[in-house]
Structure 1
């Protein structure tokens, strides 16, 4: 039980609070150190998410339809369209279409109204028919119209069923063109006269003098997707020229330069951020005496510079710059570097920022697009974690980023694969262990402080009790003497 200065007239609570303020100084320092460690860990997470996002973009840039993009230009007869894929090679295809591919079909010989019941055309009553790979069950009161819907709703049938209200006839057509047959069985189909299948035909196409059969009017050859729209008029051909898509490649490289610059800017900002050592994390008591905007301003300075000159980030920056400026060795032994295609580094103050000369880049693409593509997208097939001279710029940077992500994972417990800033930290990291040690020390110190506070109150209570006893004795003596 605490006695609040009734006998002595002193403000015991205030005195204990003052005594405890001095005793809490070591605890405040522990909380500040813990808070600074948490801020530093959050800084690592910001950088790690940035590097993961950069890696994702590098993978996108490295696709053949981005850095080695091709385009197909069609001239001559307009009965053909073409689209080049990343697998296409620079080439010319001369195409003449002799005939288009058609699909197998079967048509009923007689016509019936769509509301006609199955029982009116088929004496067997309920039963089933087989169309392609599908078995379609029907009842005696099934209508022709509902039967058509059942067939179309079953994808395994492989056909499209059509009912013509004018003629009352029904047809099945293969969903795929070419000589693929339609398998049919069932008494109902026989009753409708659907027994004779008109076989489809393959398209006949002459490509660079070679006559080929294609089961579809849409097919791929040499990495080019070709669509046939009609037969070629006599004496004409369609010419497909596959070439490098210079505009798409320029767009990819420009985007890469922008992303790279944004990434190193984020790293440079963290490693060179001003450190305000006199601005320490605020305690709960300190925040209570401050306005919200004052707290925000104070903490912005207190958080600043947590990763100033950080070894992991400095190494990442150094490795990224080295990866960019070092020559890439091509399979034939020749080399190429970014300066040859119009990419240079800015001034010293810009700390590794890349500058792109689009005119020089386009000239390099026109002269040797494959070599430019290799500079960025070539991959060393070895299993080395560090990049090699055979790795293109994209793969080099991904390896640098991965090593940095691994280092931050071990130290701060950040994710190596997530770009989400809310991803939880791995508690078994070095900083995770340090934070748990702080938590244990803080818990122990809080226990000791609680004991000290209780001891102070116990001592003041004893003093109050003694004073009260003295006052009582003095009062008794005074009464006796009077």
Structure 2
């Protein structure tokens, strides 16, 4: 913080330059000391404004620390990108272990991955995969030696400035464009263009090992389609593997041609110089010697569950009685078991019981949650010590570094006392635990007949704290009421969001959606409301925007919203104004003393002249 000497920089001379000020030579007065005393009132105003700014900056830092801790909680327990870090994933509430059925120490996942969720059985599961689900596609083998860095013009033999590809997936067209103005577009660029511009509906890849370029629909199953549509650059046919030469009778009109191989018929449609390829074939075959159509197909898989019951999912005609249609995807869940098929073959696992996994997950969340809410509660209730205010620069100059640190630690106490935003958030979090979840049959509390060993703290100083009051009871509930425990924590209501008049989503305990949501689902939404979604930093959430977003730009005519950056900015403007006024007033005082010096010099000169005359 500044004293009067600092605000006068640039105006140290009577003329306002950077001269060294020489004062009091004639009068014998300590002008600097006198001016400093005369400026003491203004210096106090400056110190107070800077202390206020420092307090607001400390408050901002405290907010940012809280936000950081909550974001860490989100990253550890609400990251939807990985089930291990997403406590809302049903697999985290499935009290099961997965082990190899053949006694191996590791589970082979080359054919299938088994993930038990709530509802699975203990015992042996087996899958036999005769055929994976696939999407529709085209595969073409390029010239030997082609790599991802091979230029498209070297393959097509043209000098086109751009390449276009129009694909139809389902009911909509996808337009792919690739700039080739410099003639340097490569196979790798084409692969990236298709994957980046198709919004996940189409997959393109090129293998440098086999030389195969593959284009396929991301969706699998026999109902999935991929169509290369009129308007596609004809030169790309040499890469994708089809051209207008594939069929006869090309003309200005629409021409169709049935191609039959091994008793399987596929229809090609050609319009003018462009082309369109579709297939309703149930098998793959070569066209023009290099291109192959990959027809969509369902997975053919047999599942055997504990107890020996088997179900065959197939589309093969004449299959045995009791079969079901083939699976349209390689990832599916049936009766509490999630299957992810990877290749053809047979795989088996043993499913065992393990309540400790679910218990440990719940406990680890509660421990982290409590550390955050207890810390916030402490900050909301601690009283500030009025004897410890932010230090001025003058005070700091008289102290050691350790003394300054110790002082500021005490000065920061109580800066978040009774903070509205934090109090509302803690109340919302507490309500998320104490409000019953509809249609579950469990409730929080020590004495409820349907409790499951968890309750709010009995300590009135930590009202948001959650206790596992009976660990064994919680473990029993996990083992015997697994479905209820899962719904109690992770249920997601099917009721749509309630939208307020201002366009924001309403979410409170009065809404049907809230009452059906599980406890942790509520917690996740409350945290999103206050600090934004998991793995996001800059957002418009309540705490984040209050701590970090500046709306007030007074100098440009934009009004503020009293966020902490707004408050800090306001103090900066106030400090700037005080310093300007201080500099003006200080210069005024020095000018007055300068005039006094001038008068004193004149008097001294007259006195000297008079003495000289009398002496002579």
Q: TM-score, normalised by structure 1?
A: 0.69
State the partner residue of 1:154.
212
State the partner residue of 1:127.
none
Residue by residue over 1:45-84, the C-alpha shift from the partner in whole angstroms, topping out at 9 and shown as x without a partner, is: 2223333443442451111222346555675999998643
Please give the alpha-carbon distance, in whole angstroms, between the structure 2 residues aligned to 1:90 and 1:400.
31
State the partner residue of 1:11.
30
> Aligned pair 1:355/2:464, yes or no?
no
Cα–Cα, structure 1 residues 350 and 11, in superposed 2: closer, same or farther, change >3 Å? closer
Please give the alpha-carbon distance, in whole angstroms, between the structure 2 residues aligned to 1:74 and 1:453.
85
State the 1:376 CA deviation.
0.4
State the 1:458 CA deviation.
0.9
State the partner residue of 2:139.
133
Residue by residue over 1:384-407, the C-alpha shift from the partner in whole angstroms, topping out at 9 and shown as x without a partner, is: 42243222111222343345459x
Residue by residue over 1:282-315, the C-alpha shift from the partner in whole angstroms, topping out at 9 and shown as x without a partner, is: 1222212221111111111111110112232223
Match of 1:473 among 606, 609, 613: 606
Please give the alpha-carbon distance, in whole angstroms, between the structure 2 residues aligned to 1:336 and 1:241.
33
Cα–Cα, structure 1 residues 274 and 320, in superposed 2: closer, same or farther, change >3 Å? same
State the 1:437 CA deviation.
2.8
Cα–Cα, structure 1 residues 13 and 350, in superposed 2: closer, same or farther, change >3 Å? closer
Tell me if the contact between 2:131 and 2:301 (Cα under 8 Å) persists in the aligned partners: yes
Match of 1:90 among 120, 141, 145: 120
Please give the alpha-carbon distance, in whole angstroms, between the structure 1 residues aligned to 2:215 and 2:562.
61
Tell me if the contact between 1:205 and 1:212 (Cα under 8 Å) persists in the aligned partners: yes
> Greater Rg, structure 1 or structure 2?
1
Residue by residue over 1:260-302, the C-alpha shift from the partner in whole angstroms, topping out at 9 and shown as x without a partner, is: 2112122112112341112111122221222111111111111
Q: CA RMSD in A?
A: 4.5
Tell me if the contact between 1:71 and 1:83 (Cα under 8 Å) persists in the aligned partners: no
Tell me if the contact between 2:381 and 2:418 (Cα under 8 Å) persists in the aligned partners: yes
> Aligned pair 1:445/2:578, yes or no?
yes
State the partner residue of 2:562.
430
Cα–Cα, structure 1 residues 414 and 286, in superposed 2: closer, same or farther, change >3 Å? farther
Cα–Cα, structure 1 residues 436 and 101, in superposed 2: closer, same or farther, change >3 Å? closer
State the partner residue of 2:453.
342
Cα–Cα, structure 1 residues 150 and 449, in superposed 2: closer, same or farther, change >3 Å? closer
State the 1:350 CA deviation.
6.0
State the 1:367 CA deviation.
1.5
Cα–Cα, structure 1 residues 326 and 447, in superposed 2: closer, same or farther, change >3 Å? same
Please give the alpha-carbon distance, in whole angstroms, between the structure 2 residues aligned to 1:16 and 1:442.
20
Q: TM-score, normalised by structure 2?
A: 0.55
Larger relative contact order (Cα-Cα within 8 Å, sequence gap ≥ 6): 1
Tell me if the contact between 2:114 and 2:349 (Cα under 8 Å) persists in the aligned partners: no
Please give the alpha-carbon distance, in whole angstroms, between the structure 2 residues aligned to 1:349 and 1:219.
49
SS at match of 1:449: helix
Please give the alpha-carbon distance, in whole angstroms, between the structure 1 residues aligned to 2:437 and 2:127.
43
SS at match of 2:26: coil
Residue by residue over 1:444-469, the C-alpha shift from the partner in whole angstroms, topping out at 9 and shown as x without a partner, is: 22111111111111111111111111
State the 1:209 CA deviation.
4.3
Question: Whose helix proportion is higher, 1 or 2?
Answer: 1
State the partner residue of 1:66.
92
Count of matched residue positions in the alignment of Structure 1 and Structure 2:
402
> Aligned pair 1:275/2:384, yes or no?
yes
State the partner residue of 2:437.
328
Please give the alpha-carbon distance, in whole angstroms, between the structure 1 residues aligned to 2:528 and 2:331.
40
Residue by residue over 1:143-172, the C-alpha shift from the partner in whole angstroms, topping out at 9 and shown as x without a partner, is: xxxxxx9652535399xxxxxxxxxxxxxx
State the partner residue of 1:416.
541
Cα–Cα, structure 1 residues 378 and 285, in superposed 2: closer, same or farther, change >3 Å? same
Moved more, 450-459 or 74-83: 74-83
Tell me if the contact between 2:491 and 2:516 (Cα under 8 Å) persists in the aligned partners: yes
Tell me if the contact between 1:36 and 1:306 (Cα under 8 Å) persists in the aligned partners: yes
Residue by residue over 1:367-423, the C-alpha shift from the partner in whole angstroms, topping out at 9 and shown as x without a partner, is: 1100001110012334142243222111222343345459xxxxxx98639999x96
Match of 1:39 among 33, 37, 58: 58
